Amino acid sequence: MGKTIIALLVIAKELHKQHKKILFLAPTKPLVIQHTQFLREYLTITVDDVGVFTGEVSPAKRKQLWESTRIIVSTPQVIENDLVNRRISFEDVSFIIFDEVHRTVGNYAYVFLGTTFLQQQPNGLILGMTASPGNDPVKIKEVCLHLGITHVEIRTKRDPDVKPYVHDLHIRWKEVELPKEYTTVLRLLRASLSRRLQELKDIGVTPTASVQLMNRKKLLEMQHRIQQAIRSEPQPSRALFTAASTQNAALKLYHGIELLQTQGKHVTEQYFQRLRHESEQKGGSKASKTLMKDEQVLEAISRLKNLTIEHPKLEELGKIVSNQVTQHADAKIIVFTHYRDTSTLVEEYLRSLSAQLRPIRFVGQAGKNGDKGLTQKEQATIIQEFKQGIYNVLVATSVAEEGLDIPSTDLVVFFEPVPSEIRTIQRRGRTGRKMTGNVVILITKGTPDEGYYWAAKRKEKRMHSELDYLRAALSKGVEYALETQEEAARKQKTLHEYSAATDVHIVVDHRESKSTVVRLLGQQGALVDSQQLDVGDYVVSSRIGVERKTVDDYLSSLIEGKLFTQLRHLREAYARPMLIIEGENILTKRNMSHQAIFGSFSSTIVNYGIPIMMTKNPQETADFLFTLAKREQRDEEKSVAIRGEKWSMSPAEQQQFIIEGLPNISSVLAKRLLKHFGSIRAIVNATEAELCEVHGIGKHTAASIIELLNSQY
């Protein structure tokens, strides 16, 4: 209903009003590109006045763009990273738009950006936009809290000011019958599941062993109860760990049953192949190993391979899509599938039906189960080619649900219903934008499809009810977010407190740069510098280097034998090394003896001289690191050094240490250089050609060394 148009109008007004920057945030790169093109087309400013920030733009280039452009369109993670590293500041920003604002909860980057903007620009303007705020009033309130929102506008298609411009949306659901050929496979899998549910019932984890009464939500609740019991006992019994494995196997079986019911033979086969592969791995889960030895499961897999019939949804989908293209030669269709395996199957099936159908698969960037995914550039190309009509069917996973501007799509097909009202609304929103839209939802009778469909309907109804209540409250002058804004003000630092902390400098390893700890340090006002550290995760002064491990990381490192090697390197690198172990229940997290864990503590403290600091969560870790850095840098006046003071080294080690400081020089290359030239002086005096005589030193590295050695300090 024109959210981006509203953003455009407010941007235009702000551009007339003042000369400060405007920031337009969107959760994905395709959306960022889309908004950028939209603004460049409709604003009466130059193309160069609208800059694009994504992870593919270098930090130096982003800093330059920030200084030269009036409007920045960006993904939130990039802005968060630049703020934390002090490459940019919100002090010269007057207005921020948060697209898909319902994401402003939990640890998502919008939360950090909202609170930071309110700190640095208390009089700044924030606009949040979403078509699907969800049905939970607590989360809606949380969004208002994080962004300081005190005014909410709500429109539905029934409102008189938008009703004339909203196109109809025809929604119908098409039911299909599960093939009788699937019955035997399902019976075998259910029998295997029933045995495991009975085991769980016998130990009191679940009140019922009925497969018919079981669902995914109940199985996950069961998992939570078992994990809680394990964590609460100082010495968990073997029975509890057996229950955890049994529950995991039950969940895997349930998922396999659901796949066969809702996706079909091919996708289910792929799933069990992955379980088999996992069971054959050295570190594979016990549940997978158990399932691959279960006679009923093995027989089910064997019968599954012999099935020759695919899910009837596939044939029904072919009829719907073919009919649409036959009636409208220029039709554009989106088919949504929940699983990547299904998207591959659907694309291949539609392509085989007719030359009129030109399907293309559209998935996310992340690689999954051997599927590399699409790069952001490939995604943008596919969207453009779909708009141009090169492809007329987009077979998409959830990546296409949010925000993509494909206005001429006149049919959306759900291969399966989704229980989320937000995702349902977003899927539907891909059609009915410039013409009457059509939505078809495929449902398999008597399967979880039906439950998911009605769950989404209930949640959406509740969402509209909550929004109607909120609108009624606002119409009476009730400021919905007033109380929460006061709560936020109490939690936030004042601008004075924020600026007073800016002389605290912490170097963080680049692998830690996206952690919650780094974000919290930035909120406290620390200057966080992300670099590649050879040893440790945080450097707070020339003598203190800190290794941070979560409880899981610590125990894994101990089991794998890596822990003490890492501690030895930490000890060698810093005069005052420290170890932070973050999390709770370290004695009950794994099935390890207390003696082994206490023994590792003793060795860390006594043998390596490294003190251990236990923190409960990222907030405590950030608080401790900030306090430690503040003490060192203000009270002790010790500056941050990337490599710590060397407390005890031989002359050879000191020489190697110095040479390792040269660009692209590892410890191995440092030794080769010293052996080849004989001394530090000879290395420093060498020419580029002479440096290249050493194995492993290329022209680029040699040139970098020469440039550094000859550069003015």
Angle at 247 between CA 244 and CA 250, to 5 degrees: 155
317 pLDDT above the threshold of 90: yes
Kindly indicate the confidence band of residue 499, based on its pLDDT and cuts at 50, 70 and 90: very low
**Cα separation, 672 vs 657, whole angstroms:** 13
When pLDDT is averaged across residues 304-325 and rounded to a whole number, the result is: 93
Three-state DSSP class for 539?
A: strand
pLDDT, tens only, 274-296: 999 988 887 778 899 999 999 99
Kindly indicate the confidence band of residue 481, based on its pLDDT and cuts at 50, 70 and 90: very low
Q: Give the relative orientation of helices 563-573 and 551-560 as an angle to the nearest 10 degrees.
A: 110
pLDDT of residue 206: 84
pLDDT, tens only, 526-563: 888 877 788 899 998 878 999 999 998 899 888 888 89
Q: Is 368:340 a contact under the CB 8 Å cutoff?
A: yes
500 pLDDT above the threshold of 50: no
Angle at 467 between CA 466 and CA 469, to 5 degrees: 65
Q: Domains, the chain, ranges and CATH? A: 3-130 (3.40.50.300), 169-177+311-455 (3.40.50.300), 180-306 (1.20.1320.20), 495-635 (3.40.50.10130), 651-710 (1.10.150.20)
- Kindly state the helix (H) or strand (E) to which residue 706 belongs, with its residue range: helix 699-710
pLDDT of residue 247: 92
Return the closest-CA partner of residue 399 out of 425, 438, 373. Answer: 373
23 pLDDT above the threshold of 90: yes
pLDDT, tens only, 184-203: 999 999 999 999 999 998 88
When pLDDT is averaged across residues 44-56 and rounded to a whole number, the result is: 89
Name which of 89-93, 152-156, 575-579, 696-700 the model is least confident about.
Answer: 152-156
Angle at 433 between CA 428 and CA 438, to 5 degrees: 50
Report CA-CA distances (Å) from 132 to 112, 159, 348, 424, 473: 21, 17, 32, 9, 20
CA–centroid distance for 564 within its chain: 31
Q: Is 669:696 a contact under the CB 8 Å cutoff?
A: yes
Q: Is 482:150 a contact under the CB 8 Å cutoff?
A: yes
Kindly indicate the confidence band of residue 639, based on its pLDDT and cuts at 50, 70 and 90: low
Kindly indicate the confidence band of residue 649, based on its pLDDT and cuts at 50, 70 and 90: low
Q: What is the pTM of this model?
A: 0.63
403 pLDDT above the threshold of 60: no
Sign of CA dihedral 230, 233, 234, 240: negative
Mean pLDDT of the chain: 85
Kindly indicate the confidence band of residue 489, based on its pLDDT and cuts at 50, 70 and 90: very low
pLDDT, tens only, 364-398: 777 777 778 888 788 878 888 998 889 999 998 88
Q: Which residue has the higher pLDDT, 539 or 135?
A: 539
482 pLDDT above the threshold of 60: no
pLDDT of residue 398: 80
Q: Within 10 Å of residue 514's Cβ, how many Cβ atoms? A: 14
258 pLDDT above the threshold of 80: yes
**Cα separation, 671 vs 316, whole angstroms:** 68
When pLDDT is averaged across residues 344-354 and rounded to a whole number, the result is: 93
477 pLDDT above the threshold of 90: no
Q: Write the DSSP symbol of residue 368.
A: B
Q: What are phi and psi of 340, to 5 degrees?
A: -65, -40
When pLDDT is averaged across residues 62-71 and rounded to a whole number, the result is: 91
**Cα separation, 278 vs 285, whole angstroms:** 7
